[in-house]
Amino acid sequence: MEELKRLENELRLRGFSQHTINSYVYWNKEFLKFAKKRPEEVSEDDIKSYLAAKISSNVSPKSLVLIKAALKFFYDEVLGKDIVKLKTPKVPRKLPTVLTKEEIKALIKSCKNRKHKLILMLLYSSGLRLSELINLKVGDLELDERIGWVRGGKGKKDRIFLISEKLAKILKKYIEKNRKKRDDYLFAGRNGKISARAVQKIVKLASKKAGIEKKVSPHTLRHSFATHLLEDGIDIRRIQELLGHANLSTTQIYAHVSREELKKIKNPLDRII
């Protein structure tokens, strides 16, 4: 459909990720199947009926927000109809799962495969997102300086990340042994770079071997990195920069999950007994 091609082109021109482009196009296609109309015939009531149907089908609040954003971008931004005005339920903000420092140590120690261990260490040492890790190239690392660069990360922004002194030395040997060039992916897979699914499997298997009962994913190591920095007294704005958060409010969630910070609070009962 010509209109959906316009949507795809507009998203691409504005620098949206391929994942977002695919999601927006998909949900607009699904909506048009529901409405049984051409885009220019769609009304505000059609939008409301579709979102109400999604709520009735128990779609998650997070998915509902995505669907509304996809429809709003197409009908309001691209077609200029200004018809997506319905407020959607707020997404419940869950506190992230965080591992203790002892659990991180056990996780890394449980992994015997050298490459897999490096992946775990780098995820925790850097606070990288999964997509950022798998797209990392040798040339993005400055191991003598113990830093690396995320090129075109979330929001198409470059940012710096930290690498531990011990890990930098191990990574140097790993790169030399595997004769990797600057343009090579740091962690190779069948199609050039390691897949997201493979990294998820590595983390899940290591957590199982370490006897960790919490639900652990690559993002758990990012959460743990941020929380442990906060517990070590690092300013939250510095943590915001390292994580690549656009808003400080996103980073402040780690203040709610820091056990060490909570332990510092003197309980009022102890003051009066």
User: Locate tokens 């993002």: which residue?
Assistant: 219
Distance separating alpha carbons of residues 124 and 111, to the nearest angstrom: 14
Select from 125, 124, 163, 160 the least CA-distant residue to 244.
Answer: 160
User: Locate tokens 């509304």: which residue?
Assistant: 68
The DSSP 8-state label assigned to residue 79 in this structure reads: S
Bridge partners (DSSP) listed for residue 149: 160
DSSP code per residue over 3-16: HHHHHHHHHHHTT-
User: Locate tokens 């190591």: which residue?
Assistant: 221
Select from 154, 138, 140, 139 the least CA-distant residue to 187.
Answer: 138
Select from 132, 139, 133, 140 the least CA-distant residue to 156.
Answer: 132
CB 148 within 8 A of CB 161: yes
Structure tokens at 145: 């300086």
Give the catalytic positions in this structure.
129, 154, 219, 222, 245, 254
Distance separating alpha carbons of residues 91 and 228, to the nearest angstrom: 26
Distance separating alpha carbons of residues 201 and 265, to the nearest angstrom: 38
Hey, how many other C-beta atoms are within 10 angstroms of the C-beta on 170?
A: 17
| Strand blocks (E) in the chain | 141-142, 147-150, 159-162
